[in-house]
Amino acid sequence: MWSRFAVAIMLMGIELTPPSRAQQITRDVVIPGATLNDGYMAWTCDSEGQLYRRPTGRGASIMRVAKDGSTLLFTLPEPETSIGVFAPARTGLTVLNSHYSRAEGVSEKMYRFDAQGTLVAQYSVSLDFQPLTMAVISSGKTIVVGYRPRVDTGQEARTYVGALLDVQGQLQIQFDFPPTPDGLKWTPVNFPRMAGGDAAAHLIFQTGVEPRFAIASITESGKVDFMPLKTVRGAGFHDWFFGNGVAAENFQFSVEKPPGATHWDAYDLSSGKRISTKTLLPAGFAIGCYLGDEVSVLAHSAQVEKSRGLPPEALRLVTVKLE
């Protein structure tokens, strides 16, 4: 599997490729106050296609970027200096941060924000594992997935577990992830986005050297079901996103025509059936959100028309039609 650094290098190469004439850009907006210098990665998206990013140099803040480029900051109170894991919710945003002290060891605190970015509640949370990703489901409860031991070990040394937290952040259930039918371990994909739905959350897992993928559905009772997916084999790069009712795989082979193009296969979350296959021509710096027939990307401004008057480091949100 490619590292995040390798993925970043690949995406930089995509941006340096001139846009194809066949490429259909449906929206291209500047993100006010955002530059390439404060980060280019989009971490997750909500059901409305708004992306969430962690800008550097802004303390413990998360920036929500709407499709029209407008932004909103969710800022943790002092003395927080960094962001742990977070998840969009119908009512706003939920953040889970880890803390360490000699007296208490590692502990977690949960912060809940409303849709206007106001901190409305914070709770102490009791977990015995390191949070990796999470999702807020329709009931307002939070499903957290992480690993033991907490120390920074490789995937093979980790045991992946999860927990259900109520709306006050109190632990209700902990659960494990069963192995594959042939006894192999499922591990979350390298960039583990998670989607919350009606009474369940979804996460993509993988197993094997040439990975096989599955959708893990986790219910409020802590029940975990794996649905193996019949994905295309032989790609050198994989990344997974969620859209409305689907999981979407973005993948690329070592040789592509045109250079820099990537493929998108969408799978129904209920049946696991592949429902569409599309291609993204070279379009931007980093993928933002999967929008069905389109994707949004974060792009710098080094190649835009001079008449727009943008500095090269200005960050833009560009929406591109999938072919």
Q: Give the pLDDT confidence of 135-181 residue by residue, as tens digits.
A: 999 999 999 999 999 887 777 789 999 999 999 999 999 999 999 99
Please tell me the distance from the alpha carbon of residue 237 to that of residue 192, in angstroms, as a whole number.
15
pLDDT at 57 (0 to 100) = 67
| Number of domains within the chain | 1
Residue 111 lies in a domain: no
Q: Which helix (H) or strand (E) holds 16?
A: helix 4-16
Token pair in block for residue 112:
């809940």
* Domain enclosing residue 260, as ranges: 1-40+236-320
Residue 82 lies in a domain: no
Residue 281 lies in a domain: yes
Residue 68 CB partners (closer than 8 Å, separation 6+)? 27, 29
What average pLDDT does the segment 294-298 reach? 95
pLDDT at 79 (0 to 100) = 73
Q: Determine the longest span between alpha carbons in the chain, in angstroms.
A: 61
Residue 206 lies in a domain: no
Q: Give the pLDDT confidence of 30-73 residue by residue, as tens digits.
A: 999 899 888 877 789 999 999 999 988 666 899 999 999 999 99
Residue 165 lies in a domain: no
Residue 219 lies in a domain: no
**225-228 long-range contacts, CB within 8 A, separation 24+:** 226/178, 226/180, 226/186, 227/272, 228/272
Residue 191 lies in a domain: no
Residue 69 lies in a domain: no
